[in-house]
Amino acid sequence: MNFARGIVATTIGILALLAVSSISGCPSGSSPGGGSQTSDAEVIFDNNNAAAVLNNPTQPTVVTLSKAYQIMLIRDYHWNDGQGTPNPGTIALTSSGGTTYGPWQTTGSPGQGNVPNANWTATPNEAVPAGTYTVVDSEPSTWSHNA
């Protein structure tokens, strides 16, 4: 698992990924059918921080999952020089083998200083197998990375 909590993202996009590793009554690779969670959600990737940001990450944002997870939340940050974005877009995960999960529509919420739609949050509730994934943001030109 690529766990980057607390690491400053100097060239990759700012991202948080929350998931659960098992759902009761839910076969591997399927969506829950009303079953209760058997484990608490865990942060599997988080490079969010209070450092200064620029737009358009210069390197791909890559996450490695050591096992399958039910992705519950994925969020990225669009400060965009204090302008935010007019509308939130989508976030997807593309495996090293080329399979894409998503894209998932996000909802926007204000960022620092009430910047509109700076936080893009998707709640996919989708099973994703172990592997290495590149995060695909529909508007990379406004996606933040650390300066």
pLDDT at residue 10 tops 80: no
Domain membership of residue 70 (yes or no) is yes
Domain membership of residue 65 (yes or no) is yes
Alpha helices in 8-59 (DSSP H): none
Among 49-53, 91-95, 135-139, the range scoring the smallest mean pLDDT is 49-53
Domain membership of residue 106 (yes or no) is yes
Query: In angstroms, rounded to a whole number, what is the distance separating the alpha carbons of residues 145 and 80?
Result: 10
pLDDT confidence of residue 46: 86
Beta strands across the sheet bearing 100-105: 62-65, 131-137, 90-95, 100-105
Domain membership of residue 8 (yes or no) is no
Tokens at 11, concatenated? 């060239």
Domain membership of residue 5 (yes or no) is no
String of DSSP letters for 84-146: --SS--EEEEEETTS-EEEEEE-EEE--GGG-TT-EEEE---EEE-SEEEEEEES-TTT-EEE
Number of structural domains (the chain) is 1
Tokens at 12, concatenated? 């990759």
Domain membership of residue 43 (yes or no) is yes
pLDDT confidence of residue 5: 37
Domain membership of residue 10 (yes or no) is no
Average pLDDT over residues 74-102: 96
* pTM for the predicted model, two decimal places: 0.81
Domain span including residue 118: 15-146
Tokens at 65, concatenated? 């999952």
Domain membership of residue 3 (yes or no) is no
pLDDT confidence of residue 108: 97
